[in-house]
Structure formats: C-alpha cells, structure tokens
Amino acid sequence: MQADPGSWQLVYFDDVALIYLRAGDQRLPPFRWLDPARLSLLPDLRAADLAAAVAELARQTERCPDDLRTLLARAALAIARGDEADFAAAQAAIQSQAGETVEMALLAGRHAMMRRDPARAIALFTRFRELGGDLLLSALLEAEARIAVGDEAGAGDLLDVSAALPGGSAPAAAARARLFPAAGGGGRPATIVPKDGR
C-alpha cells in the first residue's frame, strides 16, 4: 500500500482498525473526506465538499456511533458547519470517553480561531504540541493565532522554527507569504479583525 497509495481507498474505520480496498472495488463505498489521518482538514470544508463529508459522517455514525474517531470527525465537521451545539456535544462525548486527547486539542484550537478567539487558540495549539501533536502543524497554526493577537515577532519566530523542521521549509514559506504579505512574506501582516470587531 505504501508503494502505491493512490490505488487504495479507505472503506471502513473504527478505534481499532482501518480497512482499505483497491481503488475501484465496489463492495463498500469509500471515504473521500472522513479519513482519520486527515482530520485537521475537515474544519476547512465548504459547500459540496462539506455536504459530501457530512453524508460520509452519517454513514460512519450508523456503523460506529460512539467510536472516538467518529466523534472526532463529528466535532471537526461541526466546526466547518458552524454548529456550536454539535461541537459542544461531540467535545463532551470525547472528554467523557477518552479524557484529554491530542486530536481534540487541535480541533478545539481550530474552533477557537473560527470563533475569533486567538488567545484561546494559542493555548490550545500549545496544548496540542505538549500532548505530542505534530510540531510543524502546531507551529503553523499557532503562528496564525499570534498574528491575530498582534504578536508578529512571536509568529515570525514560530515560522522560523517551522522552516527548520523536517518538511517544514515550503509550508513555512507559504504561511509567511500569507501572514506577512505586505513585504513579500517578510513584512507586516494584513489587517486581521480582532474578536471584538474593532
């Protein structure tokens, strides 16, 4: 599978197993969006992609309604849909079942950013890192949150750290260009509206 990942598709997952079939095998419908390894992408889905992911979640919920991975996907898609009640319910179920998890720290940080609460997001992305989350992802997300609170120096430091991590050079450069567009990736960031709208 590792030699040719494009020829395999995820068709089932739970807290114990992931089942893949060769691409084109029609015995079970594949998951296009609900891959537990790509959980961090779900909050960014919109329109038709979000609708497709929600349909996949409905199928997954029928199979494994109380599974931790199902609940995490539910929380991630609640962020994308802006469904505060469903996010809170999924978060409470995850907390009850598994306590504090690295995945929920990441999702709670993403949720805080979407609610325009970057100070809380910084704390949650830090916690994500402390729990063993991906260092590159943590640094990139925290840099964005630091820009939102006006900590340009802290954001720049995090992007420097990101660039030094394995595989971090290109993502750090892209984040720098997006967060500091005024000087081609090196100057002041674009104006970001703070939580209070001022």
Per-residue DSSP letters for 91-138? HHHHHHHHSS-HHHHHHHHHHHHHTT-HHHHHHHHHHHHHTT--HHHH
**Residue 101 phi/psi, 5° resolution?**
-125, 155
* Tens digits of residue pLDDT in 138-153: 999 999 999 999 999 9
pTM of the model as a whole: 0.87
The answer to whether 175 and 186 have CB atoms below 8 angstroms apart is no
Can you give the residue ranges of every domain in the chain? Answer: 1-99, 101-198
Q: Which helix (H) or strand (E) holds 22?
A: strand 18-22
SS3 of 167, please? coil
Give me the tens of pLDDT residue by residue for the chain, a chain 198 residues long: 767 777 999 999 999 999 999 999 989 999 999 999 899 999 999 999 999 999 999 999 999 999 999 999 999 999 999 999 999 999 999 999 999 999 999 999 999 999 999 999 999 999 999 999 999 999 999 999 999 999 999 999 999 999 999 999 999 999 999 999 875 555 544 434 444 444
d(CA 87, CA 96): 14
Phi, psi of 8 (to 5 degrees): -125, 150
Which of 137, 117, 118 lies closest to 40 in space, CA to CA?
A: 137
The pLDDT tens digits of the residues spanning 87-106 come to 999 999 999 999 999 999 99
